[in-house]
Structure 1
Amino acid sequence: MTSSATLPGDVITLDGTFPGTRDELGGKAYSVNKMRAMGLPVPPAFALPTHVCSIYHDSGRSLPDEIWQDVLTHLRRLESETGRRFGAGPSPLLVSVRSGAAQSMPGMMDTVLNLGLNPELCTVLAEETGDPQWANDTWERFCHSYAAIVVGTPGAQPPTDPVEQLRAAIGAVFDSWTNERVKAYRARHNLGAGAGTAVTVQAMVFGNRDEQSGTGVMFSRNPATGDNVLYGEWLAKAQGEDVVSGEKTPATLESVSEILPTTYPELERIAAILEREHRDLVDIEFTVESGRLYILQCRAGKRSPRAAVRVAVDLAREGVISPAEALTRVSTEQAASLANTSGVRAGHTVLATGTAAGPGVAVGQAVSDLDEALDLAAAGTPVVLVRPSTAPDDVPAMFESVAVVTELGGSTSHAALVCREIGLPCVVGAGAGTVATLTGLTVTVDGATGSVYEGDAMHSDDEADTDEHLSELLSYLPDEVPVDHPLAPLRAERLERA
């Protein structure tokens, strides 16, 4: 075993008592650990820290037996805390097995939900709850997840031994650290090779349980505009992957107040607490099981370039961060996007409309095939990637496109998060038939309004000149700003115009 005194143990209980860093625990486990220390309603969990990823790969993609025994010890502790038993009745414990690198990479690595079931335990779960329909739905979800992520073959059945399932799923999450979408994401964001992903094993809570259940994603501020309002999406009788995968089109977060009137104020309260703790716009994943709220993750939220400016300035105005720190909240890529002040000319035919998910305007050829999109982009053709929904494997093609349009999904899906972060115009949830309507055409995508226009409808406008937040942010720059500062070109352009 390669652990040393400078590293955490190979398996860590995430109860808030271990002072682990984000680099050690990975973003997801660090978030769970921190929120449990704060007393927030977070399901119990343990983690294999990031250094174990290297141990796994150095051991021939195998988890050493001494680490595995430590996993089983922590699994017993999870049973004690939940009052449920893993792999046995009368109250089976199901777990999620989640990835989590030090840097946030939404949707790039793999997660397995509802692990711990087999046909016999599915029957036990149905007997315990008196709800065979829910038990069967949970079993089917697990089978799909396990086949797609652990086995890599749709329709493959998981092994009947839940312990064997767990060991294989942990390995699959560690394996996902080396997949092509992770490589593409890290290269695009200049993140380097990185230490690896951690694995979080967490007691399941069930958004698909009943009519008083559901799952959602919320942001403490609008990630597209930066407005200081709670923003997000929600799906009733669903699990987290249903929202973030983009395969379903969710409802607005406000709809929670109609179904669960006491839950929405609690969401507002928790969002405010976590924003204060992070001193930044935060992205929070949550689940409600039979009316009981659970928080699953919190991280700094991916945001559009213009939202990055507004949030940074508003937080500086509020005294949460200094003007100097506000300047660090806008990346080089976001600053470059801010220099592109394009709009849409009036009078062009609207071919599709959906949810505005990644502000900006771009023109390109609509392409639905991933390989064709990569080939055309490599040849210099601006490509608008048009898909029924976007899966994580689509990310390399997304990064080579000028815009993305999907038939399904919402503004908190992984596709929307990825596009918003890099300033890529994105329209999601444009409806069935959009791919057939657009493919092969030259189109203009307006990610700020959610409209897709026929032909080249783009023109330059002066929106940036009237953006008070950008003007204020630029005023924070010192008189002698380094030429390699992300905002230096924008200020130089302003001075030339003045």
Structure 2
Amino acid sequence: MTTGLDARSTASVVSLDGTCPHGRERLGGKAHSVNRMRALGLPGPPAFAITTDVCARYREAGLPDEVWAGVVDAVRVLEADTGHRFADPASPLLVSVRSGAAQSMPGMMDTVLNLGLTPAAVEGLAEATGDRAWAQDTDARFRRSYAEVVDPAGPPEDPWEQLRAAIGAVFRSWDSPRARVYRDRYGLDHDAGTAVTVQAMVFGNRDDASGTGVAFSRDPSTGEPVLYGEWVRGGQGEDVVSGTVTPVPIASFADEMPTLHAELVEAATVLEAEYRDLVDIEFTVESGRLYVLQARAGKRSSTAALRVAVELATAGLITRDEALGRLTPEQARRHLEASATTGGETVASGIGAGPGVASGVVVTDPDDALDADGPVVLVRPFTAPDDVPAMYASVAVVTEHGGTTSHAALVAREAGLPCVVGCGDGIVAALEGRTVTVDGARGVVLDGDVTGEAGPHATTAWESTLLEWTGAATPADLPDRLGTS
């Protein structure tokens, strides 16, 4: 680490090298996880963070000069770590600029990837790698991301101007309508602010031995203790979480790259023990090398919340009291309501991404969901972060594209909304205006309202353990017992 960055490391720009002493409140969840992973020796690109306290200062008067000076020093450290130089056309260092609040708010704030490209740098990358198509694809991704997040006119020629503007855009996204709606729903502090994480890029779109994915240490819908997730060969992270691409199950990653899959399983095991919880991991493979980019406690269904707490306590990672303290009567009620349907004609099928059953009239415009008087099912080609208020106004969500780790799935699971993703082209037009039932456990959309046709509830081994701990006679008694245990 350079002397300049050391001098400021107690202030607002800090290196995430595994030794940063700041906690989640100052670093934000994303940066805090990067620092923890570096301390654990897990493979990840070098990074630094601008702390959460700067967010309020930026909102009042822009980015302070001393903070920008610290950013410049921190970029020099990334250059030393990577062997590339920022704003050097011959061997450019490219970075991601990402948000990260203390409490996870997935998809609610903004990210810019591949920042630092200029026409000259694109030529430099093409010449250095001999792969002009990759250089041009990376440039197109950057320009699209920058225009959507920072400035519709596109990026300036100076990478330093790009970086300063992107940092400001990420801070401003703290106050976006979708972020405020999310915080209102979950009772989060509007004044807490976001940190900004700047990390050296690794490229899942680099070649045939590259890709990106999201993995969970356990199934976030059911809680089953197996590595769960999805993977896109030749893609970058936004391809997975945006839902514009339907990825393949993580089992395909195991088939295609078994050694790297084994490394990912080991990383998930280490991180679950570190977090003492189900973890959500973003990863990228560049030319056959695995990088772990982020880890956090994963969003999960109510069923998964109950099962994971019980099984972590049974395994000794947390105490019985900690397990019970993590659980709520509402989670128990949602778990009991999530029984799959047994009847009805299937009108669409995809991937079950949020368990539960709900019926309503299909709307395809977010504004119609917000204006509806009765229960509605939001059906979209894919959901964008700006659709979150409409998702919260709906009883279920269905998409044509995307997978179980997409933005739609994460939001739906956390909110307890039945969700089916990846149903295929044409579903929006086919279902508009119809009354349907969404069965998020089976991954089907059924004609009409068949919510009363639920199958029997068989008590599982983990439920039996929870009944014993709480003194409940049956699963139906759990909401009351969890409220008093």
Identify the TM-score tier after normalising by the shorter chain: over 0.9
1:483 is matched with none
The answer to whether the 8 A contact 2:324-2:482 is kept is no
2:423 is matched with 430
Match of 1:354 among 324, 329, 350: 350
The answer to whether the 8 A contact 2:329-2:478 is kept is no
The answer to whether the 8 A contact 1:47-1:199 is kept is yes
Question: Cα distance, 1:333 vs. partner?
Answer: 4.3
2:319 is matched with 322
Give SS of 2:68's match.
helix
1:414 is matched with 407
Match of 1:30 among 29, 32, 36: 32
Is 2:75 the counterpart of 1:75? yes
Rounded Cα–Cα distance in structure 2 between residues aligned with 1:337 and 1:325: 21
1:98 is matched with 98
Question: Cα distance, 1:477 vs. partner?
Answer: 3.7
Aligned length, in residue pairs: 472
Structure 2 residue identity aligned to 1:349: E
Q: TM-score, normalised by structure 2?
A: 0.94
The answer to whether the 8 A contact 1:443-1:452 is kept is yes
Q: What's the RMSD between the two structures over aligned residues?
A: 1.9
The answer to whether the 8 A contact 1:341-1:462 is kept is no
Question: Cα distance, 1:328 vs. partner?
Answer: 2.4
Is 2:336 the counterpart of 1:334? no
Structure 2 residue identity aligned to 1:302: K
Deviations 1:37-57 (A, max 9, x none): 111111000000111101111
- Matched residues, percent identical? 60
1:278 is matched with 275
Rounded Cα–Cα distance in structure 2 between residues aligned with 1:493 and 1:35: 36
2:86 is matched with 86
Structure 2 residue identity aligned to 1:172: A
The answer to whether the 8 A contact 1:408-1:430 is kept is yes
The answer to whether the 8 A contact 1:365-1:442 is kept is yes
In structure 2, the CA distance between the partners of 1:488 and 1:458, relative to structure 1 (3 Å rule), is closer
1:17 is matched with 19
Give SS of 2:258's match.
coil
Match of 1:393 among 383, 386, 391: 386
In structure 2, the CA distance between the partners of 1:92 and 1:493, relative to structure 1 (3 Å rule), is closer
Q: TM-score, normalised by structure 1?
A: 0.91
In structure 2, the CA distance between the partners of 1:239 and 1:121, relative to structure 1 (3 Å rule), is same
Is 2:367 the counterpart of 1:371? yes
Rounded Cα–Cα distance in structure 1 between residues aligned with 2:337 and 2:21: 43
The answer to whether the 8 A contact 1:345-1:458 is kept is no
Rounded Cα–Cα distance in structure 2 between residues aligned with 1:289 and 1:249: 20
In structure 2, the CA distance between the partners of 1:131 and 1:445, relative to structure 1 (3 Å rule), is same
Structure 2 residue identity aligned to 1:67: V
Rounded Cα–Cα distance in structure 2 between residues aligned with 1:431 and 1:331: 36
Rounded Cα–Cα distance in structure 2 between residues aligned with 1:13 and 1:203: 12
Deviations 1:89-146 (A, max 9, x none): 3210000000000011111100000000011111111111111000000000000000
The answer to whether the 8 A contact 2:110-2:169 is kept is yes
Give SS of 2:181's match.
helix
1:119 is matched with 119
2:289 is matched with 292
Rounded Cα–Cα distance in structure 1 between residues aligned with 2:458 and 2:258: 42
Rounded Cα–Cα distance in structure 1 between residues aligned with 2:380 and 2:480: 34
Question: Cα distance, 1:330 vs. partner?
Answer: 2.5
Rounded Cα–Cα distance in structure 1 between residues aligned with 2:218 and 2:117: 38
Structure 1 residue identity aligned to 2:57: I
Match of 1:44 among 37, 43, 46: 46
Match of 1:188 among 185, 189, 192: 185
Rounded Cα–Cα distance in structure 2 between residues aligned with 1:8 and 1:337: 44
Is 2:66 the counterpart of 1:66? yes
Structure 1 residue identity aligned to 2:481: R
Rounded Cα–Cα distance in structure 2 between residues aligned with 1:193 and 1:463: 43
Question: Cα distance, 1:471 vs. partner?
Answer: 4.3
1:3 is matched with none
Structure 2 residue identity aligned to 1:40: L
Counting only pairs closer than 5 Å after superposition, residues 151-190 of structure 1 correspond to structure 2 as 151=151, 153=152, 156-190=153-187
1:311 is matched with 308
Question: Cα distance, 1:337 vs. partner?
Answer: 1.6
Question: Cα distance, 1:298 vs. partner?
Answer: 0.4
Rounded Cα–Cα distance in structure 1 between residues aligned with 2:136 and 2:110: 23
Give SS of 1:459's match.
coil
In structure 2, the CA distance between the partners of 1:255 and 1:341, relative to structure 1 (3 Å rule), is closer
The answer to whether the 8 A contact 2:328-2:479 is kept is no
Match of 1:491 among 460, 481, 484: 481
1:210 is matched with 207
Structure 1 residue identity aligned to 2:347: L
Gaps of 5+ in 2: 1-8
In structure 2, the CA distance between the partners of 1:283 and 1:263, relative to structure 1 (3 Å rule), is same
Rounded Cα–Cα distance in structure 1 between residues aligned with 2:254 and 2:333: 39
1:4 is matched with none
Question: Cα distance, 1:421 vs. partner?
Answer: 1.3
Rounded Cα–Cα distance in structure 1 between residues aligned with 2:188 and 2:321: 23
Deviations 1:347-366 (A, max 9, x none): x2111000000000000010
Give SS of 1:364's match.
strand
The answer to whether the 8 A contact 1:342-1:458 is kept is no
* Further displaced range: 280-289 or 324-333: 324-333
Rounded Cα–Cα distance in structure 2 between residues aligned with 1:117 and 1:331: 48
Give SS of 2:337's match.
coil
Question: Cα distance, 1:464 vs. partner?
Answer: 5.1
The answer to whether the 8 A contact 2:84-2:92 is kept is yes
Rounded Cα–Cα distance in structure 2 between residues aligned with 1:354 and 1:239: 23
Structure 2 residue identity aligned to 1:353: S
* Further displaced range: 459-468 or 112-121: 459-468
Rounded Cα–Cα distance in structure 2 between residues aligned with 1:362 and 1:308: 20
Is 2:433 the counterpart of 1:448? no
The answer to whether the 8 A contact 2:338-2:355 is kept is no
Question: Cα distance, 1:205 vs. partner?
Answer: 0.2
Deviations 1:350-404 (A, max 9, x none): 110000000000000100101111000xx2x101000000000000110111000
Structure 2 residue identity aligned to 1:387: R
In structure 2, the CA distance between the partners of 1:440 and 1:240, relative to structure 1 (3 Å rule), is same
Gaps of 5+ in 1: 1-6, 480-486
Give SS of 1:366's match.
strand
